[in-house]
Structure 1
């Protein structure tokens, strides 16, 4: 099976939502007992212009249609640790309109955050050193004019990462992504991808 034909309803992806296709196929994809191990290309990234002056649209993402009223959850093992290593969820309209959210290594420690891109990228992060070595789940929820992103490490409560505006009528794709902007050999072990119902509220209770 070619990378472009990889299906997220493969038994190694519990609860996955159906066929998906790679945006920028990675160096290697290995099926394991509990998911996929994805090897990222050196220099792979998603970013547009802001602060750095460059545009990269070369990150690896396994994307499927992302319907209104649904949420995509991606779980991976946070066992990487070099500068700008990253994994999580990508929500994409086109090369100028997208959001990536997950855990990225910056300034020597893992940071949970998001990059929201509308022609130009912004970036927000918060340190999560206690998440290192654990399974992390990132949840992107589509409801009306908003994309709500939450994340948690295994055994921890959900943490709100970002709320950003969304075109309610846009055709969107979403799924797991990883990037290795500064090095070769990044391997990310994804253990779960699933589609569920969108969050009912921004706030608990």
Structure 2
């Protein structure tokens, strides 16, 4: 299929950020302090008020979101991709700053959230791309940078045949002033195999 490059104006905010402004082809987003996505597990609280720009997601496409890591410096600074089926069923995946380094982070929520982390200090300062592609009853989540190849970070149950949305998200639970620069948002060819890397789009 031909890649569909999303215009930033095409999506709908699930929750609006403190500010969002276009700068050339990029979108700079400042999330509001204290807002997040999380349900119950460990902490007991429930948040679904983080900033997320969503569009309808056809299961026969993969979705990719790219952003720059240079501004990630403090605990829980985060951005990436939100896969949304409703208040009880969503996945956020991306980079979250934790223990002083950027971490590949995935929160899978089916009534309750779980959280996985993998440190990627070598990715600091780079442009990161998150990718999600549905296969059977699961979603395959991968990530890469301009200098590091695809890494599969999660295979999670996501069995919904319709009613799905996807797009960039960012949260800043503990500090004000965090700004993320999103550089790209695409819907493109889905994964063909769990163990075969998807192709890189021309120019990326």
Is the aligned partner of 1:45 residue 2:36? yes
Which position in structure 2 is the counterpart of 1:7? none
Is the aligned partner of 1:112 residue 2:109? no
Is the aligned partner of 1:137 residue 2:117? no
Q: 1:68, 1:144 within 8 Å by CA — same for their partners in 2?
A: no
Structure 2 counterparts to residues 48-197 of structure 1, below 5 A: 48-79=39-70, 80-197=72-189
Query: What's the secondary structure of 1:122's corresponding residue?
Result: strand
- Residue 198 of structure 1 deviates from its aligned partner by 1.0
Structure 1 segments, 4+ long, off by >4 Å, are none
Q: Kindly provide the CA deviation profile for residues 110-168 of structure 1, in whole angstroms up to 9, marking residues without a partner as x.
A: 10020000000000010001111110000011232111100011121100010011124
Q: 2:58, 2:162 within 8 Å by CA — same for their partners in 1?
A: no
Q: 2:106, 2:115 within 8 Å by CA — same for their partners in 1?
A: yes
Give the Cα–Cα distance (whole angstroms) in 1 for the partners of residues 160 and 100 of structure 2.
Answer: 38
Give the Cα–Cα distance (whole angstroms) in 2 for the partners of residues 170 and 97 of structure 1.
Answer: 13
Instruction: Structure 2: give runs of 5+ residues left out of the alignment.
Output: 198-204
Give the Cα–Cα distance (whole angstroms) in 2 for the partners of residues 177 and 143 of structure 1.
Answer: 23
Q: CA RMSD in A?
A: 1.4
Q: 1:93, 1:172 within 8 Å by CA — same for their partners in 2?
A: yes
Q: Kindly provide the CA deviation profile for residues 174-204 of structure 1, in whole angstroms up to 9, marking residues without a partner as x.
A: 0000000001111000000000011000002
Q: 2:83, 2:164 within 8 Å by CA — same for their partners in 1?
A: yes
Is the aligned partner of 1:24 residue 2:24? no
Q: 2:104, 2:118 within 8 Å by CA — same for their partners in 1?
A: yes
Instruction: Structure 1: give runs of 5+ residues left out of the alignment.
Output: 1-13
Give the TM-score, by structure 2 length. Answer: 0.90
Query: What's the secondary structure of 1:84's corresponding residue?
Result: coil
Give the Cα–Cα distance (whole angstroms) in 2 for the partners of residues 111 and 28 of structure 1.
Answer: 25
Q: 1:45, 1:59 within 8 Å by CA — same for their partners in 2?
A: yes
Give the Cα–Cα distance (whole angstroms) in 2 for the partners of residues 142 and 181 of structure 1.
Answer: 29
Give the Cα–Cα distance (whole angstroms) in 2 for the partners of residues 77 and 163 of structure 1.
Answer: 24
